[in-house]
Amino acid sequence: MADRGKDRKAAGTKERRTAGHPADARDIAYRLTRRVHAGDGYLGLLIRYSLDSEKLGARDRALVAELAYGVQRHRNRIDHVIAAFSNRPLKELNPEVLDILRLGVFQLLEMRVPPHAAVNESVKLAKRHLGKSAGYVNAVMRGVAEGLADISWPGPEDLRSHLEVVYSHPRWLVEYLVKRFGEKEALELCRANNRIPTLTLRINPLRASRDELLEVMASEGWQGRPSELLPESIIDVSIPYPVLLDWLERGLCVVQDESSMLVSRVVDPREGQVVVDACAAPGGKSTHLALLGGEGCRVIAVDRNAKRLKAMREAVKRLGLENIAIRTGDATHLQRVVDVTADAVLLDAPCSGLGTLRRNPELKWKRFPGDIANLAGVQSRLIRGCAEVVRPGGVLVYSVCTFTLEETVGVVEGFLRERKDFQPDSPASLIPEILAADLSPRGYLQILPHRHGMEGMFIARLRRKA
């Protein structure tokens, strides 16, 4: 997995800014898009740190996010339009020219920006960054503006091409989804992946109650409603960005999806227990485990990335938690890092992240078929290492924010074939009844965006025989 600390440094760097041209929303969106396509940046962090360094109003901040995310979410759909009006194959275009066109066409295709504005702003970007290519950008954008209504699209009768182009998923992933879920569900999942997600907050009861924050939101006319699944969650949140930052800095809440909260619920930490979070950074699940277990529960958070653990220490301090010990180490050799046997170990393993495409649409273009097998190998080594720390009678919870068979059932079942002293332990009593109905016969839970309205997450609870 990439070192997301690099995103902070990259996003804070002012690059290719022509003298006399202060950055505007489209300029920032272009530079972010280039960073995502040219490197290994994660869009969410790039946007966050870029916007923190720029003086933008709320409207421009929203425009940057809409443009940058929109290009990633609809990239194949956009490229289909560009190809229809370009006299050169897209693969022969300068990548910088292509990204300017993508931003411009997205405005015409999905934002309904007036054609003259989309054309003019695209040409302005090209002049600012590329010079000679402005004429080509102007010609293509004018062609799109005049002929967009006449574009032909692959219909649902050719489902794979339809999902690839209209719903903008790479062909290899389309083939995988159809094979994994069937045509009907593959279509529903691709639709769900393209929906703009809402914000979900997990309340920190040491600082505020859910009712208190809901009352503040209601009094100010902001949006948000209590989760029906988890008492610590507020979903569909829409509050001013400065207010969100203030709440986060004061430790009133954290941003966390409900599917991630369910992972900690399945671990089920208790007073007096020792719980290890083996791949802990940035700490969302560790801090949740510490709250669920109470002051008498000792949580040991382990991660190999010291930079991310530094940020985690700051988060733990903000939340007012005193029952978390943070250690740097490799979970494939967890015994070398943790000097006790644990009542429960959580392995929230690095994975393909394909369950999070609503929030991380750039992953569609960063993942390739070979990645799945490679990641499954890493996950298998990690689960073996974590098992050594679980006491007899203790629990090992494995979770990944994806749905591939190789990274989910394949890893767990492979582990169980090796370790006869572990067996599935159904979490039915630990999760909402409506979700318990979706448990597999072996007690595994696969959450999917189109079924559950949450990020995709696989959770398996295993118990070591006493």
* Residues labelled as active-site residues: 401
Distance CA(380)–CA(376), nearest Å, equals 6
Three-class secondary structure of residue 466 per DSSP: coil
Per the listing, tokens 């689960």 go with 383
Contact 12, 51 (CB under 8 A): no
Helix (H) / strand (E) containing 328: strand 324-328
Token couple for 16: 């290719």
Per the listing, tokens 């409603």 go with 225
Distance CA(201)–CA(255), nearest Å, equals 5
84, amino acid identity: A
Q: Which of 443, 447, 414 is nearest to 429 (CA)?
A: 443
What's the DSSP call for residue 148? G
Q: Which of 63, 29, 23 is nearest to 46 (CA)?
A: 29
Contact 327, 338 (CB under 8 A): yes
Per the listing, tokens 């494995």 go with 398
Contact 454, 189 (CB under 8 A): no
Contacts of 1 (CB under 8 A, 6+ apart): 350
The torsion of the CA quartet 26, 29, 33, 34, rounded to 10 degrees, works out to: 70
